Structure 1
């Protein structure tokens, strides 16, 4: 796919990355460019024991809409109808975006590592989540660098089976998060930061 060049330098994209909920069904970059960002992120983001356990599904346009329609249908079965209006608005907001990145961790990889390195078997599921989190951050920041907004959602495990059945995914893939993305149509609220002197310690 060629060498990847982001639209912003890395730290600028890190500073400007926010949870964006007001998104339009448009993208300032091509689908090929989106796939390049995701592909490079999956290839170069580190993983525990170089496990490469992260699996990604990119849903665009109609397939993206399908995800949020099935999520809405599932939520209707558990959220009381007189309280569903707010949930419906949230689902409509996600559906109005351009696409969604689904993040999975392949449990067959984790189980093999547990067999091969029994001393650390209780740690591999934790490290798997670390691996997924790094992929989430890299992809989110890469999308931000190209003018796209995104947020991170967690409707798993409610939607896991339906997602696997709909897109014919391996049973060993465990859904971790969903990232709807699109062109931002509103600015996020000002973010507050707690004192950094309580969060960072330096020793020389």
Structure 2
């Protein structure tokens, strides 16, 4: 029987190589705006802060959507990664927010930005399947974060965002992997049925 960790590691290598082939800046920009428009038109979002992420490498850019929310007076936020094994925390973000390089070289708001608790979490991914499973980088930050937010009893909507080309038939997953509620790409959006 295959070790799930080995299956995930092999799947990560394939998924990252595939995502890295999406390199045309114009196509990436069009995809970011198409996803913004799809989420606004098709995903019923609860009121409250929306957390995204600063794109790393070839990740899809959700900043156009975060800027839209910020421009509408809604709180947009970015994650701050702490020590391995801890969930993410989030600080408010606008174009005027001072930024710093955080863990793993990821851009994040500095300590002057207020902490927020999101009700919508835009989740980056290497791959996804139609069952709402996602393949991340393997550190478990988003799984721990979603688990904590969901256990806290407050509403949280997990929206996986990525390129349609990142879809796979089945993502290897285990009991600690938190499923997505929605998946949105430049070509489609879907509510995950469980």
Report the structure, 1 or 2, having the larger strand content: 2
Q: TM-score range by the shorter chain?
A: under 0.3
In the superposition, the TM-score normalised over structure 2's length comes to 0.27
Q: Larger RCO: Structure 1 or Structure 2 (Cα < 8 Å, ≥ 6 residues apart)? A: 1
What TM-score does the superposition give when structure 1 sets the normalisation length?
0.26
Larger Rg: 1
